[in-house]
Structure 1
Amino acid sequence: MNTTNNHINYIEFKANNLDKTKAFYSKAFNWTFTDYGPNYTAFEDSGVSGGFEKTDDTITNGALIVLHHNNLETIKQNIIDLGGTIAVDIFSFPGGKRFQFLDPSGNELAVWCEADE
C-alpha cells in the first residue's frame, strides 16, 4: 500500500451482516475481500482500499475516512491544537495503529500508521 502523509488512504464502512455485504459488493462490482477475524473484512479492486466493520448498531453514517501519517502523536496533538476532539484514542490493530477524531464540524475521521518494526 502506498502511504503518503496527509492523504486519504483508506475508507471504512459499517455493516450489520458481513456475509451479505461481501456478496453484494462482490457480485455488483467485482470487489475481492480479505477477512480479518469475524468482525472485519477488507476490500480491494474498488479504486481505493477499504473495509467493513461488523456492528449491531443502527448505521447512520457508516463511512469512516482514514488518513495516513507517520507520526500519530504529532498529528494527534496538531488536531487537538486546531480544535479537533479525539473520539477514539490510539490503539493497535494487525499491521498498524490508529486513532479517530472529530473535526470542528463533528465529522469523524481516523489517522493510521504502520506497526513499529
Structure 2
Amino acid sequence: MNALHIDYLELAVTDLPGSRTFYESAFGWSFNDYGGVYAGIVGPDGKDESCGMYASETPVAPLPLIRTTDLEAALAAVETAGGTIAEPPYDYPGGRRFIFTDPSGNRLGVYQPAE
C-alpha cells in the first residue's frame, strides 16, 4: 500500500450559503458547488480542492480524509489495526471512500479518487 497522509478536510455547517459567504468575505476563498449540499473550497492554484463543506443539521467535528490509491488495502489495514468501520466503502462524485473511527473514537475517512 502507498504511503498515506491527510489530504482533505470536510466541515459540517448548518448554513451552507451563509458559511460560503463568510469564508468568501473573511479569506477570499472560492468554491466549487455540488448541488447545494456540498461546496469544495478551491485551493490557491485555482483548481484543486483541499477542503469542503457539507450541509448538516448538527455541526460535528471536521472530518480529515486520507488519500489512497488502493481503497480495499486501506480498509483491510484499518480493520487489522483495530479501527472500526463507521461507513463501509461507497461511491461519491469524486471517487470512492469509507469512514472509520480510530481506537480513541476519532472519525476519519479514506478516499480513492476516480480515475
TM superposition shift of 1:28:
0.2
Match for residue 12 of structure 1 among 10, 28, 31: 10
Q: Does the 8 Å contact 2:97/2:110 carry over to 1? A: yes
- Structure 1 distance, partners of 2:36, 2:79, is 33
Aligned length: 111
Equivalent position of 2:67 in the other structure: 68
Q: Does the 8 Å contact 1:30/1:45 carry over to 2? A: no
After the TM superposition, which residues 31-70 of structure 1 pair with which residues of structure 2 at under 5 Å, given as runs? 31-45=29-43, 49-56=50-57, 58-61=58-61, 63-70=62-69
Unaligned runs of 5+ in 1: none
- Structure 1 distance, partners of 2:9, 2:18, is 19
One-letter amino acid of the counterpart of residue 19, structure 1: P
* Identity across matched positions, percent: 37
TM superposition shift of 1:44:
1.9
- Structure 2 distance, partners of 1:46, 1:59, is 26
TM superposition shift of 1:7:
1.4
Q: Does the 8 Å contact 1:96/1:113 carry over to 2? A: yes
What secondary structure, in the 3-state scheme, does the structure 2 residue paired with 1:27 have? helix
Structure 1 stretches of 4+ moved >4 Å: none
TM superposition score normalised by structure 2: 0.89
Equivalent position of 2:82 in the other structure: 83
Unaligned runs of 5+ in 2: none
